Chain A
Amino acid sequence: MAFDKNSNGFTFGFSIALVVVVGTILAVTYMALKPAYDENVRREKMQNILASLNVEVDRDAAPERFQQIVGRAGLIDAQGRPIPGDDKDPASSDAFQLDILKQYKAWKANELKAEEMLYPVYEANKEGKKLFVLPMVGTGLWGPIWGYVSVESDGRTIHGSTFDHKGETPGLGAEIATPIFEQQFPGKTMTDPNGTFTGIKVYKGGSNTTDEHGVDGISGGTITSDGVDEMLRRTLAVYDVYLKNATGNSYSQR
């Protein structure tokens, strides 16, 4: 049979073979390099947690510093009650392993009820000061946004924050991951002096930057800013209950 490279049979055969070969090569490479990638992601998470505590480290040095500074990692439920029985090393704890983005997506897709969601909390000790690190996720304009906010031992004053995003617009929404935005957070409070929960508002227009419960949003990044606002309001409300109990500041409230 004469070989005809333009016959239908060969065209089909060629496309199938090409896709199978390319697919196999990619799958094998991905499996081989996945451990290295996962380790990078793990260290980046530690780096982010430390960054919210205003501790800047290289990714390579992150595990060691994390070990020194973060003393405990635990999970709380959606009512702010700690879930007992997780006293492992913070870096291998259930709290650290929990993929809150996955959980958030499941909640968004109605596969998980809000009251079934779990929230990790890290307790850190930085220069003798006890701090809480609160991870959170939300939705920006193009995809997920996430952040870590650290709170001082009074359970209401923000110590530091770090935010990141998957693919917000550079120069606009992506500015939430810059110090200009993040450095507004230290010193703000998430409850009023009586203990009533206020959260941290992200203002549009920047007219209210003197508000001790609010920060200035990103100009041109309205939807991302709104996403941060929603994320902070939703998550801090849960953490607030926990922090009031954990710090003993159970004000007469609400």
Chain B
Amino acid sequence: MSTEVGTMPEVKEASPLFGKKERLLITDPLNDNNPITVQVLGICSALAITVKMANALVMSISVLFVLVFGNMIISALRNTIPSRIRIIAQLVICAGLVTLVDIMLKAYVYDVSKQVGVYVGLIITNCIIMGRFEAFAMGNKVWPSALDGIGNTLGYAWILVVVAFFRELFGSGTLMGFRVIPESLYATSGGVYFNNNMMILPPMALVLVGIIIWIQRARNAKLIEQA
């Protein structure tokens, strides 16, 4: 699950755009500094929208948009924003971007927007966003901030997708809405199989996130806490 990090293939020349430090901005949040499993931020949305993979993907794309552009805007304005109102300014930019996403979802993917509608509004309160704005974008240049946004969203997204994969597969027998477990296996049509309704409910998402954290900590020596 968390092996993506070990296999970063490209060994690019240390160009200023993708130097070692820049690559780390993307890879670090995938594992060592994962927003969900290590920093335990953004858990609320991880529980709420992982019943279906499609929802998890739309949520991830929305967060990607908000976080990357938000980071870039905040970073560009970091020397202009008066420090007394910086949190409010960050919030206004974040809320503006989220509303923009909401309007676009409603216009272009209406069905999805109905399902994730409430949670898109909640991106504003997703701790990952404000956390990155305040902790990273306020003190770094535009390009690293954009990379940081991509990295953290990917770290957030892969957890969402993995959780949603198991919840949709065992909870509804489908993946991305396509039937994976054949209809004929179900008890309702003479088979022996039942969907696990527990998977549909939010507590199971917490259990799955817990299992991911367990596997991750067991494999990643940096995360093992000294007693």
Q: For residue B104, which residues in chain A have a CB less than 8 angstroms away from its CB?
A: 29, 33
Give the Cβ gap from B208 to chain A, nearest Cβ, in Å. 18
A5 and B78 alpha carbons, distance in the complex (Å): 11
Q: For residue A29, which residues in chain B have a CB less than 8 angstroms away from its CB?
A: 100, 103-104
Given A25-B100, A26-B96, decide whether A37 and B82 contact each other with a Cβ distance below 8 A.
no
Give the Cβ gap from A5 to chain B, nearest Cβ, in Å. 5
Give the segment of B54-62, B86-94, B181-189 that binds chain A.
B86-94
Q: For residue B178, which residues in chain A have a CB less than 8 angstroms away from its CB?
A: none
Residue among A19, A33, A37 making CB contact with B92, cutoff 8 Å:
A19
Number of interface residues of B (CB under 8 A): 24
Q: Mark A20-32, 1 if CB is under 8 A from B, else 0.
A: 0010011001100
Q: For residue B107, which residues in chain A have a CB less than 8 angstroms away from its CB?
A: 33-34, 36-37, 40
Given A33-B103, A40-B107, A40-B110, decide whether A14 and B82 contact each other with a Cβ distance below 8 A.
yes
Q: Is the interface of A mostly helix, strand, loop or mixed?
A: helix
Q: Is the CB of A37 within 8 A of B106?
A: yes
Q: Is the CB of A5 within 8 A of B99?
A: no
A254 and B3 alpha carbons, distance in the complex (Å): 75
Q: What is the size category of the interface that chain A forms with chain B?
A: 20 to 34
Q: Is the CB of A14 within 8 A of B89?
A: yes
Q: For residue A6, which residues in chain B have a CB less than 8 angstroms away from its CB?
A: 82-84
Q: For residue B227, which residues in chain A have a CB less than 8 angstroms away from its CB?
A: none
A7 and B12 alpha carbons, distance in the complex (Å): 45
Q: For residue B108, which residues in chain A have a CB less than 8 angstroms away from its CB?
A: 36
Query: Can you add 16 more A-B contacts, CB < 8 Å, to A6-B83, A37-B106?
Result: A6-B84, A14-B80, A14-B81, A22-B93, A25-B100, A26-B99, A26-B103, A29-B100, A29-B103, A34-B107, A36-B107, A36-B108, A37-B107, A40-B110, A44-B110, A171-B201
Residues of B within 8 A of A (CB): 79-85, 88-89, 92-93, 95-96, 99-100, 103-104, 106-108, 110-111, 118, 201
